[in-house]
Structure formats: structure tokens, C-alpha cells
Chains A and B, each alone.
Chain A
Amino acid sequence: MTKELLEGNAAIAEAAIRAGVEAFFGYPITPQTEVLEHFSRRLPEEGRVFLQAESELASINMVYGAACAGARVMTSSSSPGISLMQEGISYIACSEVPAVVINVMRGGPGLGNVQPAQADYFQAVKMAGHGDFHMIVLAPSNVQEAIDYVALAFDLAEKYRTIAMVVADGAIGQIMEPAELPPMRPVRPPEERASWALTGAKARDHNIITSLYLGAENLERVNLRLQEKLREIAANEVRWKEYSTEDADLLLVAFGTVGRVCQTVVREAREKGMKAGLLRPITLWPFPSARLEELAQQVRGMLVVEMNAGQMLEDVRLAVEGRCPVRFYGRLGGIVPLPDEVLPELEKLDAEVTGGEEG
């Protein structure tokens, strides 16, 4: 395979097709509409299902239905649309059917704007819907990772019978850059759908998929099982990338597009003689807390940079537990922070922790 010049949104859709997605249900919303448009052309070509739904509410419930039927299925949206999907996401999580959701995040709250943002971190990681559950959340920082993590999202969703979300942002969705698509995986034939799926009660008892469990003890048992599964995911599926951390004494922590920006910051800081490193979480849930805890004992301070008012910041502080200072720099409303604004923040942190040592 060779690299091609690909647009993020179209690449996400094509990656899902290569990963064997059988059906897509979605609704147009900027800045992810090209995902839907790509599917609308390509899925019929491949003899698979594309349906433009009447709303995100309908989209996610169509996904829920198709997932119950045992198909590999997904939807895609952007921030306000994901809010509408939260009902279905919660039902899917409780019903333990696999599904993939893409959020190409934009500025909020409310209608916000269509610029890239990371303001849905809390929503994705901590409050994806009512009830006690987490989604697996994957955060690409470029088009190649978006392609890779869409396929990974399907594999993880099916392995754990859970919901997996890929959180990109408008920059990743709209950018064009060289990336490589994987070869086409064969689509799973309907007769090979899972034994729990709704495929017709032929020569077996009828299958029921529900999220209703009457009786507190009954529902507690279900919740304990879900929590057990989440612990298993947390133990096995934490992913992150590190840059120049071996000898670092100042650590940047950033995900997605900002993680990419911070790679430049690390380079520029090193040129200025600072021993800077970067930890970029790939899975926002489960979060690389254990690794951050280790690094907190190595570095003098951490700077968390996000396109929000400080959301992942909370998880970093929970992992660090006061072992070193954790500072924050963020831009809001759809502004991508530039290396030139982040570098002075790192210098400030450097001065702060140096001063601390002297004092």
C-alpha cells in the first residue's frame, strides 16, 4: 500500500468500509458531514447499508437496532448531535451490543460554532449518558491515526461487546494529508453473526436484548458485571504515546490536535535548553493514569494543554495526586493553540518549579 492525500472525514469513512462496516446511519452536521457523504456514495457501491436518518436520535437507535441484529455498524456526528445520541449510547452500553460512534468535535456549548474543539472530553469520558458506564474513547491526532483507530474501535467494541467512540475534531476532519488506508477486510456474512444476536429463533430459544432489569438486586448484578468488564478494559486497553520523555523534567500532556501541536512545542523547548517531553493519551478512557503517576515522580512539573477550559486536566491531577505541580493552558470556542503561545506557558512552569527548588 502507498500513501495518498486524504481528507480526514472521508478517510474515517473509508477506513470503516475497509474495516468491514455493514451499515451506517447518520445525520448531516458540520464539521463531519463529509463522513456521511462518503458513506452515501461508497456503501451502496459495496452493497452495504447507508441511511440518512431524520435526526441523531434516530441514527443512534438505528445503530442500536442493527447492532442487536449482530451487524458491524456505526454512526458519526459532531458535538450537538452527540448530545442527542446520549440516550441511545446509554441503552447500547447497558445492552452490551457493539457499536462505534465518531465525534468530530466542534466548539460549544449550545450550537457553538463549527471550529475544532475538545470541549466534549467530559461528555465522552465521564458522562456519555445516564447511568454507570464508560465508553472506550480513542483520540487520533492526525488522519493516519484516525484511519487506524476507526478499525481499532470496531475490534475493541466487538471484543468487549461495548460502545467505542473515536473523538476527532474539526481540524482532523477537514485536514488533507498523506495517509495509508488498510486493505479491505471481508464483510462478515449474516450467517456468522454472534449467537446472542437477534437473527430469528430458529432451533434455539428466543434471544432477548434489553436494558430493563426490574428489581434492585437484579440491576445491581448487571451493573457489577458491567463494572467487571470496564475493569478488564482498563487493565488491557490503555494506549498512549510519549515523545522525549526519557530524560524529561517538564512534561506536556495533550491529546488529539493539541497533542500534535505540542510535539512542536517539545522540539522548540529542547532547542531552548529545556528538558521537555510529551505524553499524548490515545485512549481517553481508559486513561493512562498509571504512566502519568510514574512520570509525576520523574518530572518537576506538568503542563496540560487542551482546546477547552481544562477537562482532561482533572484526570491528570487525579493521576498525579499532588506529586508535582500541574498547570493548564487552554483555548476556547474553537481556537487551536499555537506553539508560540504554549511555549511561554512551559517557560512559566519551568520558572515556577525552578523557583520552588531554590526557595
Chain B
Amino acid sequence: MATVEIPADMELVYKRPESLTEAHTHYCPGCTHGTIHRLIAEVLDELGVRERTIGVAPVGCSVLAYYYFNVDMAEAAHGRAPAMATGIKRVSPDKVVFTYQGDGDLAAIGTAEIVQAANRGELLTTVFVNNAVYGMTGGQMAPTTLPGQVTTSSPAGRNVKAAGFPMKMAELLAVLPGAAYITRQAVFDVPGIRRTKKAIKLAFQTQLAGLGFSMVEVLSTCGTNWHLGPVEALEWAKEHMVAYYPLGDTKMTDEVQALKGGK
């Protein structure tokens, strides 16, 4: 990357986090994966843990996340990231280990792995990106697709009598004793992005303090497969997704509360 001299009367206020590579992402215009990647990278920089972080990428749109995070990374089989991350963490307890997973990966094919990892209280942090659709395969119904939502495999809209209900993973994992911090956030506007970053930071701090499993579910968009423009997708998500997937913490142990400092 070209370096630029900063004029004496100006201050550097924004730069690429060291925890991101210089690679251009393959994500669609308007996709929020890029935003979420950046938030994680900023947090890793701020916590000073980049050089001892190991990430696990999923199968799905973010399958190539290992090209974008400037940390050691493995690519898991579909849904198995929490098991793979467990193996990494157990033999490298001094490392910071995270999984980055989509809704098909975490809430369908990998349901067993995430539930069991959370229940064991694995010292892992999971960033769970929920955009209510299978993106990479071209817009099929996901475990998190909303009732009535049209996808390429629910052409008449999701019929909950046949297909079951959208999975509320943040609520589901919250009941497990091993889960220390579980929260749901959204990156649909600037305040939401700021709250999401704080949540991701707290999740990694939970891991660093050895308090248990932590997960940040991030409501996201998929303009491409929703057949909406980037702005319309954000509006649709705010209106429909948040109604079904309420934002906020579903689990925060007293120790995490103390870590957060307050109340």
C-alpha cells in the first residue's frame, strides 16, 4: 500500500486496522460482512492480541475471511468451526480463538457444534452473522429466514408449519450454563455499528478473562439475495428482522457484567 505523508496541520483519525490485510474483499455491494470484519479487526488491535489470535472461517459467504483477517486462520468444514476452534484452543490455551459463522453454518448444519461448545464453556468467541438467507449458494431458505419470507427454496414464502420456525440462537444459547456472554446486535446504522463493536470487544474480553463462551449475533443484510438495493435492504432488515430477533443481551453473567464495569 502506498504511504502518504500526513500534513502537519492534519491528524490521522482513520486507518486500516493492522488485523485486516490489504486484500479487497469479494463481498457484494452493500454487504455488511466488510463492516463486521473491520469491527473485529479494530477490537483485536485495541486489545493488542493480533499476534496471538487464531480465527476459524466458516463455509458460506465469509468462507474466504482468512484472506481478510491478518491473523492465523483455518477454514472449517460447514458448521464445524466451533469443534475446530475447540481443538485449537485446547492445545493453545494462551491464544485468542474466534469463529466467524453465518446462519446456515451455525444455526442449521452446525447446531450441535455451537450448542455443545457453548455448553462446555469453551473459551472461544463466536461472531454469528445472521442475514436470514443462504447467500453463497444463491438465496435459499436459511434456519433464520423469517416466516413468509420468499427465497429460492421457499418460493411461496417460509411456511412455518412445513419448514419450522426461524432459529433464535442468541436466546437458545443463553440458557446454557457455559455461556457467559451472549448478545444480539445489528449493523443497520451508525449507532448499531458502534454498539456491535462494543459487544464484540466485550465478547473477546470475556474470553481473555476466562469467563466462558461468548457470542455476538449480528443481524446483517443480503441485498443481493433479498433483491433489494443496499439502502432498501437496511430498511427492510430494520423493519422486519429486528421485530423477530430483538436486539440486546440475552446472557451476561455477573462476572461479565463486572468486566463491562457497571450496574
Contact = CB atoms under 8 A, between A and B. Distances in A.
A324 interface: no
Most chain A C-beta atoms within 10 Å of own C-beta, residue among B67, B74, B85: B74
A65 B69 contact: no
A202 B70 CA distance: 11
A77 B54 CA distance: 28
Contacts of A73: 87, 91
B71 A49 contact: no
B113 A198 contact: no
Interface residues of A, number: 41
A87 interface: yes
A58 B76 CA distance: 12
Interface in A87-130: 87-88, 91, 95
A69 B88 contact: yes
Contacts of B250: none
B87 to A, nearest CB: 3
Interface string B44-74: 0000001111101100000110110111111
Contacts of A65: 56, 74, 76, 83-89
Interface string A203-217: 100111111100000
Contacts of A199: 54, 72, 92, 95
B71 A209 contact: no
A190 interface: yes
B112 interface: yes
A52 to B, nearest CB: 10
A210 B54 contact: no
A201 B91 contact: no
B28 interface: no
A91 B77 contact: yes
Looking at chain B, what size class is its interface with the partner chain? 35 or more
A62 B72 contact: no
A54 to B, nearest CB: 4
Contacts of A51: 86, 90
Contacts of B50: 201
A162 interface: no
A206 B90 contact: no
Most chain A C-beta atoms within 10 Å of own C-beta, residue among B52, B76, B77, B84: B84
Contacts of B21: 206
B116 interface: yes
B171 interface: no
A343 interface: no
Contact of B52 (A22, A200, A211): A200
A147 interface: no
Nearest to A211: B75
B251 interface: no
A61 interface: yes
B80 interface: yes
A88 B87 contact: no
A58 B74 CA distance: 16
A61 B80 contact: yes
B54 A198 contact: yes
A233 interface: no
A303 B57 CA distance: 50
B54 A66 contact: no
A315 B63 CA distance: 39
B88 A202 contact: no
- The 3 A-B residue pairs whose C-beta atoms are closest, nearest first, are A65-B87, A62-B87, A65-B84
24 contacts: A22-B91, A49-B91, A53-B83, A53-B116, A55-B112, A58-B113, A59-B83, A61-B77, A64-B84, A65-B56, A65-B89, A66-B88, A68-B87, A69-B88, A69-B95, A95-B74, A190-B91, A198-B92, A199-B92, A200-B72, A208-B74, A208-B75, A209-B73, A212-B64
Given A54-B113, A209-B74, 20 more contacts: A23-B91, A54-B112, A55-B112, A58-B116, A63-B87, A64-B80, A69-B54, A69-B87, A73-B87, A198-B74, A200-B52, A200-B95, A201-B51, A201-B53, A203-B51, A206-B21, A206-B69, A206-B72, A208-B74, A212-B63
